[in-house]
Chains A and B, each alone.
Chain A
Amino acid sequence: MKHYFTLLSGLAIFAALAAQALRASPPTYPPVEPGRSLHFPRDHGAHPDYRTEWWYVTGWLHTDSGAPLGFQLTFFRSRPPLDEANPSRFAPKQLLFAHVALSDPATGHLQYDQRGARIGFGLADAITADTAVSIDGWLLRRGVDGTYFATLAAQGFALELALQPTQASLLQGENGYSRKGPRPEQASFYYSLPQLTVSGTVTRRGKPERVNGTAWLDHEWASAPLAVEATGWDWVGLNLDDGGALMALRIRGKDGGTYWAGGSWRAADGSTHPLPPDSIAFHPLRHWRSPHTGTDYPVAMRVQAGGLHLDLAPLMDDQELDSRATTGAVYWEGAVTAHSAGRTIGRGYLELTGYAGRLVY
């Protein structure tokens, strides 16, 4: 599900409204329908016809001294509902955004940076053949052997990572058709690459350090906006210590209850088990109030996903990302450890959106 409209809220959500406002006709987006099978590497690349798309990498790193770090890097693509007849090379037909964040317990708060650009002039691009998406030097690209390379020199820190798959793609939902609501068109194409082996360099305050770790990559594209009944969602992706992987999400309705839920569990033996909506539950264990925005986030959660019962504990509390300067959303995206029956069984990322008010303009 991921930042369905976190970043592109204004651009993505009110397509219908926008279409009315504009006399010119907006683009028509292809619907997301079941039965389409994903083909790689083509589907690693961009799908510019669809309204929204993202490549989302989260993971845990440790330096040579063993200190843990969390990182998140995301590239978003959007095809805004604007008149596409504009022959200008600057016409904003395709937009790219990127967020990069570093969770360093020694710092105590999230370090992050963000960029936005319209695709064009080779300065910002997302090719269709394979994953290669870049904004002005920030880059995520998939090599021929399947290894991803990420280079992001941000304000205050820089990431230079190689992410090597150890497992096959985890197709979410029905072979990648992942539903996001009760209506069939409320869906996205969605696959994940859990258990990526990470090696590379993290540079902080001008000092490069070698890092190793494990990461999770999501690639998702869709055309339909999020249901108007929803306010936000909770999402978790965990690399389990036994080699398995868990993704669970719930979309919260305006009443605070669950509007939709879903997930998948890949067992240690590689077998994949889709999780039906009623098998998912999120229970807040502890709230943290952001000193930056005053928002309360349930940063510690008890998650029930199929047969798994997990307690999520954040690497640190302050993992709030405020992107209002560029794209408008305030959300919490944090490294967490998963405990079950008193012992750590995995690590991953928890995402909490819609807590700073509904993500609506």
Chain B
Amino acid sequence: MSGLRRAAAELLLGELRAHPWPALVGVLAIAIGVAMGYAVQLINQAALAEFSRTVNSLMGNADIEIRGPRTGFAESLYPRIARLSDVVVASPVVEAEAWVPQHKQALKLVGIDVFQAAQVTPGLIGRPSSPRLANLDLLGTDTVFLSPTALASLDLKPGDALTVQVGLRPVTLRIAGALPALGEGLHLGVMDIGAAQWRLDRLGHLQRIDVRLRPGVDAAAFAETLNAQLPAGVIASTPQDTRQGTASLSRAYRVNLNVLALVALFTGAFLVFSSQALSVLRRRSQLALLRALGVTRSGLLRLVLTEGALFGALGALLGLALGYVLAALVLRYAGGDLGGGYFDGVRPTVHFDAESALLFFALGLSAAVLGSAAPAGEAARAQPARALKAGDEEAALAKLRPPWSGLVVVAIGMALTQAGPVSGLPVFGYLAIALLLVGAIMLMPWLAHSVFSRLPASQRAVFHLAYARLAGAPGRAAIGLAGILASFSLMAAMVIMVASFRQSVDDWLQAILPAQLYLRASPGGDAGYFSEAAQRIIASTPGVARAEFSRVSQVLLDARRPPVTLIARQIDARQPGRRLPLVGAALTLVPGDPPAVWVSEAMVDLYGFRTGRLIALPLAGRSVTFVVAGVWRDYARQYGTVALSRDDYRALTGDTHVSDAALWLAPGAGPAQIAERLRHRLAGGDNVQYVQPGEIHVASMKIFDRSFAITYLLETVAVLVGVFGIGASFSAQALARSREFGVLRHLGVTRRQIGAMLALEGALLALLGVTAGLGLGWCIALILIQVVNPQSFHWTMSVHMPWLLLVQLAAALVVAAALTALASGRRAMSAGAVHAVREDW
């Protein structure tokens, strides 16, 4: 038996030596799928772990965290909480995200009461660098303690001065020491709470209260009871809620990336399938010989499956290594948010994770084994006696299924598009896409037969031969057709979806940037603002025809969801569409209506804020009733945005500060000139960020393209699949048809003509595949646009067909298919006509 095994191994290696490319491409595709999936997993795990560590350091051993809007809540809540009988410690916290102009980055500043924080968040107690003033520095009015990461990234050391921007003013603090307990990855500074309130313009307000409860008190139940008594917009939650919220932040994004990875794996499986199908076909007589020599049917099955498993293992291992490197690179250069902007201020590093490595290895392996299963079965089923003779190959692929099963699968797929999301994920949308794909592939042989048999007869020999061939043996063309269909439909779907999204974002940017110059009080963070005086100066600057100010902040509506963005800006209630890119009709307000809000699409999905509904929003600690007057598109914020008139906001909150300004310029005034003028007129005008809509536009589109870069990689993989599908299919046919070619040659058909025939067959097959693929791709794109995107990210977009690109891609694929078919045929033809005909004997 060992001799046999050696013979089998020899056979395998010989085949691999003779035709390494198909196998290698299969291995590579699996590697790409595994690499992508593993990298996404690693990056996300690293980011989540880091974020969770952040939450742990910031919350310490708190049982309950009380949070409110970004602008904070009244400090009078603190003694109320501290006096509750179940509360052991209440630690008040002030937070601000301040811009550090010198280093062009934002720094989170946390103000704590050391006496309380020592018992809840000891990690936030600074270690003074000067021993003599130790305790004083912890309470200092101008002292700050920086985390090691902040010290490193700001390139500062204890004793140095740190200047941050508050309003438009610089505030200089002294770095009194470090926060060694925080370790790596956390970018923040800690001050005394009194100093923070004073220096960072947070007087009277707190951002958070961390609470430790009496042992034995059920934190979740306590939070629930407490929530009923807290001011509107202030929410008590357990650390678990916070962590859960963190994990769900990026979940939809992550799942979508993982689906892309699965697509890559699927294509890998398909490539392994086509290369194995071909090589089984090619080795039919050798495999039959093995059978004749005593290898059992199951032995043969195992042999071919083992081959597939080896490819899979190779691909998966390669993929794991690639994935690790990819993750490390991404984390190093792009941060942990996968380009999605979810984990600000977190700088994680990659750690090998055995569990998910095993998972993705298994996925890669199973993809390859699955791909080999059909060819292995085919090889095992063959009768050795028949298979040993040449010319038996046709039987292997001559199957034509009726269309019903395929139609049923497609119908189920269509039906699934109507289903809603499963815990915020478009599970059924993806399932629908998979079913459509599978159904369409199942329909292909039937479609090929129906189309090709109806082709008009041609007088020219080459065309006649090609038509006859295609109409006669559509089953044989199945692999190639399926490959083209799958690849082109996926490619087309992604191209259509990305183009639609891109165009929609483009239109959206035009709509939300109507002014000529935009001012932001500070390039980052939330500590910068324009005071009323500054607003007056801006509005009265010569050359400024009109100035509109907006206040962007965040409110908390649900502890388990990320905060909702609140934008107070000038909105004309009669014409809200002039400032907001509305979706659908806006409500016409009548006197007596409550104040209006216009909400982003996410608010409708997540909170049910439909047009016309009365809703309650927490403002300045009170619950205020608004009417939803319209829904608008917001591609910038996934978790919901509420826009309201600035007059209403000011009247309800008394908050006069604004964070942004939009300027319409007088005729003849240039944006650069006005920016220069403001720099001089405004105290602290140098700290203001001046941007023109064009710059925002370019930067936004750049970000867009970057976040979709990964889809381009997948499109490349898809093209590969298509081309190799054709290649495998025609190689198989060429093998099977070497006798046919021989006979044709004997009949006087030239090599050129046979080549032309093959190329034509390839082109026709590809054309059919591409046409069907375009239709399927359009359907899939619609599902992506109308089901997957809204369910994952809560935004809609309009469909834009990039016809030129699609036609170019289609043409390229058809040409590539023709060339591939030609190339595959050449080898079969090179054997020589005589030899080919004689092979039968």
Contacts and interface: CB of A to CB of B under 8 A. Distances in A.
A22 B115 CA distance: 22
B194 A92 contact: yes
Interface string B616-630: 000000000000000
Contact of B133 (A14, A89, A136): A14
Contacts of B192: 90, 92
Contacts of B136: 10-11, 14, 18, 21, 80-82
A93 to B, nearest CB: 8
Contacts of B139: 11, 80, 82, 92, 95, 118
Contact of A14 (B92, B132, B142, B195): B132
Looking at B139, B192, B194, B195, the one whose CB has the most chain A CB atoms below 10 A away is B194
A325 B122 CA distance: 11
A326 B198 contact: no
A9 interface: yes
B75 A89 contact: yes
A85 B198 CA distance: 10
A253 interface: no
A18 B133 contact: yes
A105 interface: no
B135 A87 contact: no
B112 to A, nearest CB: 10
A325 to B, nearest CB: 8
Contacts of B113: 90, 117-118
Interface string B331-352: 0000000000000000000000
Interface in B680-716: none
A294 interface: no
A10 B133 contact: yes
- Contact residues on B (Cβ < 8 Å of other chain), bracket: 20 to 34
A328 B134 CA distance: 10
A91 interface: yes
A43 to B, nearest CB: 27
A24 B135 contact: no
A326 B117 CA distance: 11
Contacts, number: 97
A122 B79 contact: yes
A8 B115 CA distance: 13
Given A116-B115, A123-B82, A86 B132 contact: no
B78 interface: yes
A135 B412 CA distance: 69
Interface in B115-137: 115-116, 118, 131-136
Contacts of A21: 133, 136
B92 A90 contact: yes
Contacts of A14: 132-133, 136
B135 A90 contact: no
B322 interface: no
Nearest to A327: B135
B722 interface: no
A86 B92 contact: no
Given A87-B203, A91-B194, A328 B135 contact: yes
A81 B139 CA distance: 10
B541 interface: no
Interface string A116-146: 1110011100000000000010000000000
Contacts of B75: 89-90, 121
B315 interface: no
A94 B194 CA distance: 12
Main secondary structure on chain B at its contact with chain A? helix
B118 A326 contact: yes
B193 interface: yes
A123 B140 contact: no
Contacts of A325: 118
Interface size classification for chain A: 35 or more
A136 B78 CA distance: 13
Q: Is the interface of A mostly helix, strand, loop or mixed?
A: loop
B535 interface: no
A123 B198 CA distance: 21
Interface in A70-112: 80-83, 85-92, 95
Interface string B193-204: 111011000011
A10 B198 contact: no
B248 interface: no
Given A123-B79, A136-B82, A88 B198 contact: yes
A40 interface: no
B56 interface: no
B141 interface: yes
Most buried by A among B75, B79, B136, B139: B136
Contacts of B115: 115-118, 326
Contacts of B142: 22-24, 83
A96 to B, nearest CB: 9
A80 B137 CA distance: 11
A135 B99 CA distance: 37
Contacts of B131: 361
A91 B194 CA distance: 4
Contact of B141 (A24, A116, A121): A24
Contacts of A122: 79
A115 B119 CA distance: 10
Nearest to B90: A123
A327 B134 CA distance: 11
A95 B133 CA distance: 16
Given A87-B198, A88-B194, A92-B192, A10 B134 contact: yes
Contacts of A327: 135
Given A11-B136, A118-B113, A86 B79 contact: no
A115 to B, nearest CB: 8
Nearest to A83: B141
Contact of B135 (A10, A89, A118, A136): A10
A22 B174 CA distance: 10
Interface in A229-251: none
A119 to B, nearest CB: 11
B202 to A, nearest CB: 9
Interface core residue of B131, B141, B195 (most chain A CB under 10 Å): B141
Contacts of A82: 136, 139-141
Nearest to B79: A121
A341 interface: no
A228 interface: no
A203 to B, nearest CB: 16
Contact of A88 (B82, B133, B203): B203
A361 B116 CA distance: 22
A325 B119 CA distance: 10
A168 interface: no
Nearest to B92: A90
Nearest to B139: A92
Interface in B77-104: 78-79, 82-83, 92
Given A88-B194, A90-B92, A116-B115, A361 B135 contact: yes
A9 B131 CA distance: 11
Contacts of A22: 140-142
Contacts of B204: 89
Interface in B139-196: 139-142, 192-195
Contacts of A90: 75, 92, 111, 113, 192-194, 197
Interface in A314-357: 325-328
19 contacts: A10-B135, A14-B133, A17-B132, A24-B142, A82-B140, A82-B141, A86-B194, A87-B203, A90-B194, A92-B194, A115-B115, A116-B118, A117-B113, A117-B116, A118-B113, A123-B79, A361-B132, A361-B133, A361-B135
Given A86-B198, A90-B192, 17 more contacts: A10-B134, A14-B133, A18-B133, A18-B136, A24-B141, A80-B139, A81-B136, A86-B141, A86-B194, A88-B197, A89-B75, A89-B204, A90-B113, A95-B139, A121-B78, A123-B79, A361-B133
Interface of A: 8-11, 14, 17-18, 21-24, 80-83, 85-92, 95, 115-118, 121-123, 136, 325-328, 361
Top 10 closest A-B pairs, CB basis? Answer: A10-B135, A90-B194, A91-B194, A88-B197, A121-B79, A88-B194, A116-B115, A83-B141, A92-B139, A90-B193
